[in-house]
Amino acid sequence: MRRPVVGIIGNFKLLDGDYPVQTSGVMNIDAVAHVADALPLIVPAMPSIGSIEELAAACDGFVFTGGRPNVHPCHYGQKATPAHGDFDMDRDNLTLPLIRHCVEVGKPILGICRGFQEFNVAFGGTLHPEIRDLPGRMNHRMPPDGTLEEKFAHRHKVSLLYGGKFAEIFGAVEVVVNSLHGQGICQPGPRVVVEGRAEDDTPEAIYIEGAKAFSLAVQWHPEYNAAHDEVSRPLFEAFGADMRRVMALS
């Protein structure tokens, strides 16, 4: 059997301040290639490239990556404020319908950080503009200083539902993860099941109820050190295994 092709959702960026590009972190590419054992393909976050159906047919699965711009609040019935930060409407207009389509047709998908938030919004959920402003919550944002290793270091525990999908993948009901996000889930969508929460009750691990294939997302960044981290590796391995399962059925 051929290796699965994984579409890694890119992010808009201005190179040298004026040259528009679509990029993805090498961490995402390495995790897909060497842990999920799949062929990575960077997908421009540009709805103009083609239809959702064409894009979905070209890949065996998708990774919805992190990104600095946030999902625009108009997608969950709210108005934009300075607290919501920057936006990338092109990415919103590609990812939200693509997530729904993949769930509908049974194509494996994995959400990471912004991708986690996209899963929730795609299925009718809402977001907090800034987690650290909520009473009793800790600061989940990336440390402003330090090396890459320090910024992506483990920061807090996540408690998982006993007997749930994530506990089965990790072989544990508590894991330790990194934390590099400002926004987070406010109200889960009707089909969004929260299986993992941080110590301050922030949702950190979700799946889409009724999905025919792997449709899991995490608020942390498992792509960092994915080949060696005891939480990251089984997550990407499970994603890769489900893609091969679906491919064998087709």
CATH number of 5-249: 3.40.50.880
How does pLDDT run across 111-138, given as a tens digit for each residue? 999 999 999 999 999 999 999 988 989 9
How does pLDDT run across 222-243, given as a tens digit for each residue? 999 999 999 999 999 999 999 9
Average pLDDT estimate for 148-154 = 92
Query: So what's the pLDDT on residue 239?
Result: 98
What is the residue-wise DSSP string for 166-210? HHHHHTSSEEEE----S-EESS--TTEEEEEEETT--EEEEEETT
State yes or no: pLDDT of 249 exceeds 80: yes
State yes or no: pLDDT of 109 exceeds 90: yes
State yes or no: pLDDT of 58 exceeds 90: yes
Q: What is the pTM of this model?
A: 0.97
Distance CA 222, CA 93 (A): 25
Tokens 């194509």, residue located: 107
Rounded (10°) CA dihedral 56, 122, 67, 174: -100
Sign of CA pseudo-dihedral 159, 160, 166, 168: positive
Q: Work out whether strand 109-112 and strand 156-160 pair parallel, antiparallel, or are unpaired.
A: unpaired
